[in-house]
Amino acid sequence: MRVRIEPSGHEFETSPGETILEAALREGFHLPYSCRNGACGTCKGRLLSGDVTLQDYEPRALTQADRQAGRLLFCRAVPQTPVVIEAREIGVAKDIIIKTLPARVARLERLAPDVMRLLLKLPQNERLQYLAGQYIDILLKDGRRRGFSLANAPEADELLELHIRHVPGGLFSGHVFESMQERALLRFEGPLGTFFLREDNAARPVILLAGGTGFAPMKALLEHAFLTHSERSFHLYWGARGVPDLYLPALPQQWAREHAGFRYTPVLSQPGAQDQWQGRVGYVHAAVLADYPDLTGHDVYACGPPQMIEAARDAFYKAGLPEDRLYYDAFEYARDPV
Ligand SMILES: Cc1cc2nc3c(=O)[nH]c(=O)nc-3n(C[C@H](O)[C@H](O)[C@H](O)COP(=O)(O)OP(=O)(O)OC[C@H]3O[C@@H](n4cnc5c(N)ncnc54)[C@H](O)[C@@H]3O)c2cc1C
Ligand code: FES
């Protein structure tokens, strides 16, 4: 079916059963997206004309009020007639090619009791071209896939770095912690997602909000910004439960010493007595608001558990952050094929 994007006027065809997002990416049109399974709401946009069927999605990603306003999730919408949609396109991602590649586990490194650093080596002569902040999908057997943010700047692409939290009962993270060996072979697809630094508004200060292993893409964004001598100012808030969960504690402190435009505030939600914590306590998004009650002049990049993203999104919009200046990747659980 024919799809036209407004306001750009770009047009492409979907194959039978294909979603608007799948077809758009295949044709090289970059609509905003993250989870690709109807959970995060990043791909939300308006249907201006035509009919679609919507595959399964999480009601919090697309509310009743959204439906009434003619909004839908492009990652779940399959056109039944020619359609016209309203969506923002992202120009900078257009030269990025999504590949499926094999990779070998070069190193497994325990960073915290429940965080593993996985370093992946690509076949010789292969490089992954990506934008700092993007993620890859590890392809498991039976069509299952799990997303992980790339934690290193694209300039340092000798090995790909992932930070993986052990989810109790989790299929893939359990395998990483319990049985994966160095030299194991994996397959992945990537780079994916539209969580990367927008350069068109370089004057505005940036707030980075990381929850747990949501630190991974922030590390990539910041290392890239430092390597390219970005003039922007960055304030990183990293939320975790206790001190051991801030799993690379020296790194942000080193950035703060070396880069005048960078500030760092760690925030713990449940510090234990043994942590002897003197720093900020509570929800990490609340710490941002305590320091920046008015967000009208900022760009915010957030990454981590869905509950953190949801709480931050609502509170930040109330504090004046324009909707198109919040960029996020929510670490949604995958919906496995049945
Ligand atoms: C764009 C993106 C980037 C990501 N990046 C990272 C990253 O950098 N680092 C990282 O650690 N993780 C990241 N994730 C999360 C990651 O993809 C996996 O979801 C996570 O590792 C768990 O996978 P698993 O196979 O171990 O667990 P699964 O087998 O998927 O199951 C996890 C467990 O949680 C339960 N569960 C399932 N759904 C829910 C739910 N909605 N709420 C609560 N419990 C549920 C299951 O029953 C099971 O017990 C990212 C996710 C996305 C979408
Ligand atoms: S809901 Fe469509 S990309 Fe997440």
pLDDT band, residue 288 (cuts 50/70/90): very high
* DSSP H or E run through 313: helix 306-318
pLDDT value, residue 30: 83
Q: Which ligand is nearest to the CA of 333?
A: 1
- From the list 157, 158, 153, the residue with the least C-alpha distance to 219 is 153
138 close to 188: Cβ distance less than 8 angstroms:
yes
Average pLDDT in the chain: 94
Do the Cβ atoms of 162 and 152 come closer than 8 Å?
Answer: no
Nearest partner of 188 among 263, 99, 108, 282, judged by Cα: 99
* Helices and strands in the chain: count of H runs, count of E runs: 7, 19
Q: Which residue has the tokens 């069927």?
A: 53
DSSP 184-220: -EEEEEEEE-S-S---TTTTS-EEEEEEGGGHHHHHH
Classify each residue of 24-52 as buried b or exposed e, where b means 16 or more C-beta atoms within 10 Å of its C-beta: bbeeebbbbbbbbbbbbbbbbbebeebeb
Per-residue pLDDT of 186-215, as tens digits, reads 999 999 999 999 877 678 999 999 999 999
CA distance 295 to 316: 7
The pLDDT, as a whole number, for residue 234 is 97
Asked if pLDDT for residue 276 goes beyond 90, the answer is yes
pLDDT of the residue at 94? 65
Atom number in ligand 1 closest to CA 172: 25
pLDDT tens-digit profile of 9-68?
999 999 999 999 999 988 888 889 999 999 999 999 999 999 999 999 999 999 999 999
Average pLDDT over residues 141-149: 93
Alpha-carbon gap, residue 92 to 131, rounded angstroms: 9
Range with the poorest average pLDDT among 83-92, 144-153, 283-292 = 83-92
Q: Which domains does the chain have, with CATH numbers?
A: 2-89 (3.10.20.30), 96-192 (2.40.30.10), 206-330 (3.40.50.80)
Q: What is the pLDDT of residue 93?
A: 65
Q: What is the pLDDT of residues 112-133, one digit of tens each?
A: 999 999 999 999 888 898 999 9
Residue 15 token pair: 């194959």
Residue 329 CA: which ligand is closest? 1
* Ligand 1 neighbours by CB, cut-off 6 Å: 34-35, 135, 146-149, 163-165, 167, 169-174, 193, 213, 216, 329, 331-334
Q: Which ligand is nearest to the CA of 136?
A: 1
Residue 102 has pLDDT above 80, yes or no: yes
Q: Ligand 1 test: best mutation among 21, 98, 139, 148, most atoms within 8 Å of CB?
A: 148
Residue 28 confidence (pLDDT): 80
Residue count (the chain): 338
CA of 48 to the centre of ligand 1 (A): 34
Q: What is the pLDDT of residue 101?
A: 95
Give per-residue pLDDT as tens, 52-99: 999 999 999 999 999 999 999 999 999 999 999 999 888 766 678 889
